[in-house]
């Protein structure tokens, strides 16, 4: 341990635990298969014909023997009294789901990465090693890279890029056009953010870009490059940052649209069943209006995060709150920076707490589709009914990735901001309120 270092030993130990524990216990598998989520089973052909008041048609072999060569698919009236049976999602059921292994690997890696980061932060607080690199930063950075890009483990891992590629290959709708449209939209937003002054948006882009430009200028001069390469390199850095933001925005397009849809469905689900309790220890005991408030708060979390980095709305208001002709300082600069980080962590935990509401609301789409089918006239094939209901369940792991991916990405970016930005996550302690006169 003295040769390898404490952090490296703990990282190797955690990697071994992650590999050995995956078949026995997995947080991702527990989140999806602990019995709180219920899927809808598709009806069999016999059940559908019994509801339609018809006998099951003869097999193709019997019809061929009798000289009947009718290959028309079996169909039933749309307005049959169909009621779907439910069943808890088990680990055996989940193994056949598409992208389930990628989902399990990604979520478990993020959990172990968070544990290693917490250990390294505690290690630095107790020991304060000066010559050791913070390995927790490496784990968080790998989680961020795995979230956005397939990186080195293309065969195992795709996540956002994988899901977006799935939409690009789809030929049923305009998913490809939606992704491209939002990519150009976020490209425009990123270019606008670059030109806004730091007096309004507290992103620290000017200081960061100037630091990168100064280091590149020194490096290019040492390599003997001409002076004309310096402005080109500076422009390339800015364009690369804009392109990265556009790509991430395109990857988050469908997760955002999915979140909006499941949020509306979850609100309807809670309203229809005001005493809902989803066996989640974070939500156990919350009924009716408390559950609605938590759902609304989790949906507004991105807006809250953005507002905390708009200087006139957040920092100026809290640090110099107007009080008549005087201003009152509610907290210091360091306390406010800590407050922002704690707020993002709390909002991520809130999103995780209401995850089962959203996932169950998505699974309830099967029942909603059946209710909508009953209101329509005509006939529908048995195969189409079975495919529609089964397709919703088979897509649940993709929906889980779309929901949990942005949470994991935001949380680990916050942890990176705390460490690399020399921030602090110490509990916020408001200093004595200070009052300053204002010249009017």
Choose the most confident range, by mean pLDDT, from 60-74, 170-184, 231-245, 425-439. 231-245
What pLDDT score was predicted for residue 269? 86
What pLDDT score was predicted for residue 407? 93
Across residues 375-401, what is the average pLDDT?
Answer: 89
pLDDT over 90 (residue 185)? yes
Look at residues 173, 174, 102 and name the one whose alpha carbon lies nearest to residue 398. Answer: 102
What pLDDT score was predicted for residue 196? 87
Residue count of the chain: 440
pLDDT over 50 (residue 151)? no
- What is the C-alpha to C-alpha distance for residues 56 and 66, in angstroms, rounded to an integer? 16
- What is the C-alpha to C-alpha distance for residues 217 and 225, in angstroms, rounded to an integer? 10
CB 119 within 8 A of CB 12: no
pLDDT digits (tens, 9 = 90+) for 39-67: 998 888 888 888 877 766 555 555 454 44
pLDDT over 70 (residue 317)? yes
- What is the C-alpha to C-alpha distance for residues 116 and 12, in angstroms, rounded to an integer? 10
- Cα separation of the two ends of the chain: 65
Task: Give the percent of the chain with pLDDT over 90.
Answer: 18
Look at residues 140, 146, 143, 173 and name the one whose alpha carbon lies nearest to residue 162. Answer: 146
For residue 75, the cross-strand partners are 381
Across residues 86-108, what is the average pLDDT?
Answer: 87
Look at residues 60, 162, 53 and name the one whose alpha carbon lies nearest to residue 105. Answer: 162
pLDDT over 90 (residue 434)? no
What pLDDT score was predicted for residue 262? 92
- What is the C-alpha to C-alpha distance for residues 404 and 422, in angstroms, rounded to an integer? 27
Non-local CB neighbours of 287 within 8 Å, separated by 6+ positions: 274, 275, 276, 277
**Which tokens belong to 107?**
């979520």
Instruction: Name the pTM for this structure.
Output: 0.81
- What is the C-alpha to C-alpha distance for residues 151 and 128, in angstroms, rounded to an integer? 32
What is the band of 114 on the pLDDT scale with cuts at 50, 70, 90? very high
pLDDT over 90 (residue 290)? no
Across residues 314-324, what is the average pLDDT?
Answer: 76
What is the spatial order of strands in the sheet that 326-329 belongs to?
Answer: 321-323, 326-329, 434-437
Across residues 394-417, what is the average pLDDT?
Answer: 90
pLDDT digits (tens, 9 = 90+) for 229-244: 777 777 888 888 899 8
CB 341 within 8 A of CB 418: yes
CA atoms within 13 A on the CB side of 90: 4
What pLDDT score was predicted for residue 255? 86
| Composition of the chain by helix, strand, coil, percent to 5 | 60, 5, 30
Across residues 18-33, what is the average pLDDT?
Answer: 87
pLDDT over 50 (residue 279)? no
- What is the C-alpha to C-alpha distance for residues 104 and 100, in angstroms, rounded to an integer? 6
Question: Which DSSP string do the residues of 287-334 spell out, in sequence order?
Answer: -SHHHHHHHHHHHTHHHHHHHTTBTTTTHHHHHSEEETTEEEE-S-HH
Across residues 246-256, what is the average pLDDT?
Answer: 86
CB 249 within 8 A of CB 183: yes
């Amino acid at each position: 341990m003295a040769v390898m270092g404490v952090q490296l030993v703990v990282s190797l130990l955690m990697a071994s635990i992650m590999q050995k524990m995956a078949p026995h216990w997995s947080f991702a598998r527990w989140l999806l298969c602990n019995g709180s989520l219920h899927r809808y089973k598709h009806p069999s052909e016999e059940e559908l014909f019994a509801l339609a008041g018809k006998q099951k048609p003869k097999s193709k072999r019997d019809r061929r023997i009798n000289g009947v060569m009718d290959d028309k698919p079996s169909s039933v009236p749309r307005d049959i009294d169909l009621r779907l049976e439910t069943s808890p999602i088990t680990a055996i059921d989940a193994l056949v789901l598409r992208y389930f292994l990628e989902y399990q690997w990604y979520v478990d890696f993020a959990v172990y990465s968070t544990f290693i980061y917490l250990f390294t932060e505690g290690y630095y607080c107790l020991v304060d090693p000066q010559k050791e690199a913070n390995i927790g930063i490496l784990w968080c950075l790998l989680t961020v890279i795995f979230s956005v890009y397939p990186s080195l483990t293309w065969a195992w891992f795709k996540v956002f890029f994988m899901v977006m590629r799935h939409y690009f290959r789809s030929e049923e709708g305009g998913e490809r056009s939606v992704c491209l449209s939002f990519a150009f939209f976020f490209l425009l937003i990123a270019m606008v953010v670059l030109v806004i002054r730091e007096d309004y948006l507290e992103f620290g882009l000017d200081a960061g870009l100037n630091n990168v430009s100064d280091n590149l200028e020194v490096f290019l001069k040492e390599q003997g490059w001409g002076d004309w390469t310096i402005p080109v390199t500076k422009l390339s850095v800015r364009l690369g940052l804009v392109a990265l933001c556009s790509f991430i925005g395109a990857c988050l397009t469908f997760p955002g649209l999915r979140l909006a849809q499941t949020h509306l469905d979850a609100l309807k689900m809670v309203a229809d069943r005001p005493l809902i309790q989803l066996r989640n220890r974070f939500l156990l005991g919350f009924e009716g209006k408390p559950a609605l408030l938590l759902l609304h708060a989790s949906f507004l979390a991105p807006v809250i995060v953005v507002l905390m980095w708009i200087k006139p709305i957040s920092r100026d208001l809290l640090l110099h709150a107007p009080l008549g002709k005087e201003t009152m300082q509610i907290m210091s600069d360091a306390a406010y920076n800590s407050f922002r980080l704690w707020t993002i962590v709390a909002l991520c935990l809130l999103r995780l707490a209401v995850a089962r509401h959203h996932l169950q609301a998505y699974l309830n789409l099967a029942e909603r589709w059946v209710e909508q089918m009953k209101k329509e006239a005509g006939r529908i094939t048995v195969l189409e009914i079975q495919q529609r209901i089964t397709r919703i369940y088979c897509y649940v792991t993709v929906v889980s990735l779309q929901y949990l991916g942005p949470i994991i990405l935001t949380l680990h970016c916050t942890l990176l901001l705390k460490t690399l930005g020399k921030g602090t996550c110490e509990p916020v302690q408001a200093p004595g309120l200070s009052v300053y006169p204002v010249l009017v």
